[in-house]
């Protein structure tokens, strides 16, 4: 990893001013993707009083592979109400990266507001099989190593290194789902059995629920943010980094890309009080806590995190939304939000959000 310079100061102040999400559920057979998404879009617009035609830029995140068809996002766009035509883009990534693209667009001054949305329906297929298609198509994907097995490799590496043990992982899962008791959108809440081994050393309780869901966020720049929101969550810094794909060339007990992204986002300049981590597996929280230097005094995943609800492609954006909502409610003054992509935390995004001083 190259040595980072100090985090650049953004040219404009940009904030999250609204956030909405679905109730995440194991299945949503009766809903199309557009039908799942539309209530969320309406909610997030209603929070600000904006209409689609008021939005300067729209960006979404999703993957064709969950829908099982090419260009699946083109139909979702119909739900946005893209008429008259809108300035719009799409990343085939978690919605957190769509938010990053929207943030850069606002930085250029070409737009003052942005609508960001993401969605994923995991229920129609086998997520463990589908995610194997992310792997090197010539040497690794033909072996079909599934996402839980790869996470278990990482968990075992952590245990072997003395960084954690099975009871500690169970405690992460218990804490997350207890926190989700207060989150009406979460899929797994309260006392959830830790279960049998899925792939040793991970038990079903260490793994995320498979579910469908969507989320949306509105960004606004400068004074526009103050007009739209009582307590905007200012994005003080946001950065993302990727690591090598091959698991054999990575230290699975560490996350240098998360650390670098956090450094570039300015996360280490002052302590945060809250962290929303996109850690689908309990063991990944262990890695991220260390890389992001989160002490016991930081409230980690007060929403319940990805162990309580994990709509693929939206789960990272939800972390940013949850952190922003917490700032908006006055429960946090400075929060870190994190999103991940790829096997064993290959790619990581970190955003630092702050409320105005009280």
Partner 1 sequence: MSPAASPGTSPATGPATGKEPVAVVGIGQTKHVAARRDVSIAGLVREAARRALDDAELTWADIDAVVIGKAPDFFEGVMMPELYLADALGAVGKPMLRVHTAGSVGGSTALVATNLIAGRVHGTVLTLAYEKQSESNAMWGLSLPIPFQQPLLAGAGGFFAPHVRAYMRRTGAPDTVGSLVAYKDRRNALKNPYAHLHEHDITLEKVQASPMLWDPIRYSETCPSSDGACAMVLTDRAGAARSPRPAAWMHGGAMRSEPTLFAGKDFVSPQAGKDCAADVYRQAGIADPRRDIDAVEMYVPFSWYEPMWLENLGFADEGEGWKLTESGVTELDGDLPVNMSGGVLSTNPIGASGMIRFAEAALQVRGQAGEHQVDGARRVLGHAYGGGSQFFSMWLVGAAPPTS
d(CA 297, CA 301): 13
Based on the number of CB atoms within 10 Å of its own CB, is 331 exposed (0-12), middle (13-18) or buried (19 or more)?
Answer: middle
Contacts of 242 (CB under 8 A, 6+ apart): 257, 342, 346, 347
Residue 242: CB minimum distance to partner 1, A: 4
d(CA 313, CA 305): 14
Give the number of other CB atoms < 10 A from CB of residue 198. Answer: 19
Query: Helix (H, G, I), strand (E, B), or coil: what is residue 38?
Result: helix
84: cis peptide before it, omega within 30°? yes
Residue 163: CB minimum distance to partner 1, A: 23
Point out which span in 3-11, 273-281, 288-296, 302-310 binds partner 1 (CB under 8 A).
3-11
Q: Using CA of residue 108, residue 313, residue 188, residue 216, what is the dihedral sign?
A: positive
Verify binding: residue 53, partner 1, rule CB under 8 A.
Answer: no
Verify binding: residue 241, partner 1, rule CB under 8 A.
Answer: yes
Whether 17 and 228 have beta carbons less than 8 Å apart is answered as yes
Q: Kindly write out the interface string for residues 114-143 of this chain, putting x where it contacts partner 1 by CB under 8 A and - elsewhere.
A: ----------------xx-xxxxxx--x--
Point out which span in 17-25, 160-168, 253-261, 272-280 binds partner 1 (CB under 8 A).
253-261
Closest to partner 1 by CB, 239 vs 276, is 239
Whether 60 and 79 have beta carbons less than 8 Å apart is answered as no
DSSP β-bridge partners for residue 116: 59, 217
Verify binding: residue 242, partner 1, rule CB under 8 A.
Answer: yes
Closest to partner 1 by CB, 60 vs 187, is 60
H-helix segments, 161-249: 166-179, 222-228
Q: Which of 13, 23, 86, 247 binds partner 1 (CB under 8 A)?
A: 86
Closest to partner 1 by CB, 18 vs 344, is 344
Closest to partner 1 by CB, 35 vs 230, is 35
Q: Which of 46, 49, 54, 108 binds partner 1 (CB under 8 A)?
A: 108
Contacts of 26 (CB under 8 A, 6+ apart): 123, 187, 209, 210, 211, 212
Residue 81: CB minimum distance to partner 1, A: 8
**Considering only residues 15-44, where is the footprint of partner 1 by CB under 8 A?**
32
β-pairing, 202-203 vs 197-199, is: antiparallel
Q: Which of 54, 64, 227, 251 binds partner 1 (CB under 8 A)?
A: 64
Q: Which of 46, 49, 51, 109 binds partner 1 (CB under 8 A)?
A: 109
Residue 99: CB minimum distance to partner 1, A: 12
Residue 61: CB minimum distance to partner 1, A: 10
Number of residues in contact with partner 1 under rule CB under 8 A? 68
Joined together, the tokens standing for residue 166 give 């099975």
d(CA 127, CA 114): 30
DSSP 8-state secondary structure symbol assigned to residue 206: G
Backbone angles phi, psi at 179, to 5 degrees: -65, -35
Q: Which of 346, 351, 352, 354 binds partner 1 (CB under 8 A)?
A: 346
Closest to partner 1 by CB, 81 vs 195, is 81
Task: Report residue 143 CA to chain centroid gap.
Answer: 28
Closest to partner 1 by CB, 85 vs 357, is 85
**Considering only residues 254-313, where is the footprint of partner 1 by CB under 8 A?**
256-257, 260
Closest to partner 1 by CB, 67 vs 272, is 67
Instruction: Enumerate binding residues for partner 1 (CB under 8 A).
Output: 1-5, 8, 11, 32, 58, 63-65, 67-71, 73-75, 77-78, 82-93, 97, 100-101, 104-105, 107-110, 130-131, 133-138, 141, 239-246, 256-257, 260, 341-343, 346-347
């Amino acid at each position: 990893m190259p040595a980072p310079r100090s985090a650049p100061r953004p040219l404009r102040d940009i904030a999250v001013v609204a956030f909405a999400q679905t109730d995440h559920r194991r299945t949503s057979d009766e809903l199309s993707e557009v039908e799942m998404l539309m209530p969320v879009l309406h909610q997030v617009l209603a929070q600000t009083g904006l209409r689609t035609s008021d939005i300067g830029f729209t960006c979404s995140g999703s993957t064709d592979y969950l829908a099982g068809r090419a260009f699946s996002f083109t139909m979702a766009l119909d739900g946005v109400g893209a008429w008259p035509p809108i300035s719009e883009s799409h990343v085939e990534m978690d919605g957190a990266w769509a938010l990053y693209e929207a943030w850069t667009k606002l930085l250029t001054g070409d737009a003052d507001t942005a609508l960001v949305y993401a969605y994923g329906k995991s229920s129609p297929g086998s997520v463990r099989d589908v995610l194997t298609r992310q792997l090197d198509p010539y040497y690794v994907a033909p072996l079909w190593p599934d996402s839980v097995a790869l996470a278990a490799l990482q968990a075992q590496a952590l245990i072997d290194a003395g960084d954690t043990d099975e009871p500690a992982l169970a405690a992460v899962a218990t804490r997350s789902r207890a926190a989700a008791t207060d989150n009406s959108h979460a899929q797994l809440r309260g006392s959830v059995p830790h279960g049998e081994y899925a792939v040793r050393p991970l038990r079903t309780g260490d793994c995320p629920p498979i579910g469908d869901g969507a989320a949306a966020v509105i960004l606004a720049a400068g004074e526009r943010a103050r007009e739209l929101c009582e307590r905007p969550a200012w994005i003080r810094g946001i950065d993302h980094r990727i690591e090598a794909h091959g698991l054999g060339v990575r230290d699975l007990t560490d996350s240098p890309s998360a650390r670098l992204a956090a450094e570039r986002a300015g996360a280490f300049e002052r302590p945060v009080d809250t962290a929303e981590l996109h850690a689908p597996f309990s063991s990944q929280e262990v890695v991220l806590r260390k890389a992001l230097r989160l002490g016991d005094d930081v409230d980690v995943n007060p929403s319940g995190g990805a162990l309580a609800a994990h709509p693929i492609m939206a789960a990272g954006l939800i972390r940013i939304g949850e952190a922003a909502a917490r700032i908006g409610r006055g429960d946090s003054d400075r929060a870190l939000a994190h999103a991940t992509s790829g096997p064993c935390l290959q790619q990581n995004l970190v955003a630092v959000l702050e409320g105005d001083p009280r």
